[in-house]
């Protein structure tokens, strides 16, 4: 279909899918680093908010240095503000849509090991 790009993120982990000017859309699917037993660090992005939308499965956002848990509900939009420590935990069947600045990466992200 002309004018429409149809994408399928079928692998595991974080997968950028669409890049346009200043933003990108990615999909997160289960990978070992999103399992609670492997949770060891938080991150925060200095130049962007980061939007998460749970599409299927179960997910928990870990927020702040106190590691508060926010259980996600499918179809709701969760906007983690710029410079807020966070991590996401996923069930093995989870799919989460992510929207953020396209230049988000290690050069403008800080990591905190627990």
How many angstroms separate the CA atoms of 72 and 54, rounded? Answer: 7
Nearest one of 56, 45, 50 to 110, comparing CA atoms:
45
pLDDT at 16: 78
Report the alpha-carbon angle 60-74-100, nearest 5. Answer: 70
Q: Along the 114 residues of the chain, how does pLDDT read in single tens digits?
A: 687 776 777 778 888 787 788 999 999 999 999 999 999 999 999 999 999 999 999 999 999 999 999 999 999 999 999 999 999 999 999 999 999 999 999 999 999 999
Distance CA 59, CA 94 (A): 7
Task: List CB contacts of 60: < 8 A, sequence separation 6 or more.
Answer: 69, 70, 71, 72, 88, 89
The domain limits of the chain are 15-113
At 15 the pLDDT is 82
- Which fold, 15-113? Jelly Rolls (2.60.120)
At residue 1, the pLDDT reads 67
pLDDT value of residue 54: 96
């Amino acid at each position: 279909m002309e004018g429409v790009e149809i994408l399928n993120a079928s692998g595991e982990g974080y997968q950028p899918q669409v890049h346009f000017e200043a933003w990108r859309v990615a999909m997160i699917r289960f990978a070992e680093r999103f399992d609670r037993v492997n949770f060891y660090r938080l991150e925060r992005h200095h130049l962007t908010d980061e939007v998460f939308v749970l599409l299927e499965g179960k997910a928990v956002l870990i927020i702040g240095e106190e590691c508060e848990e926010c259980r996600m509900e499918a179809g709701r939009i969760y906007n983690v503000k710029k410079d807020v420590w966070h991590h996401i935990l996923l069930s093995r069947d989870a799919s989460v849509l992510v929207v953020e600045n396209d230049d988000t990466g290690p050069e403008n992200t800080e990591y905190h090991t627990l």
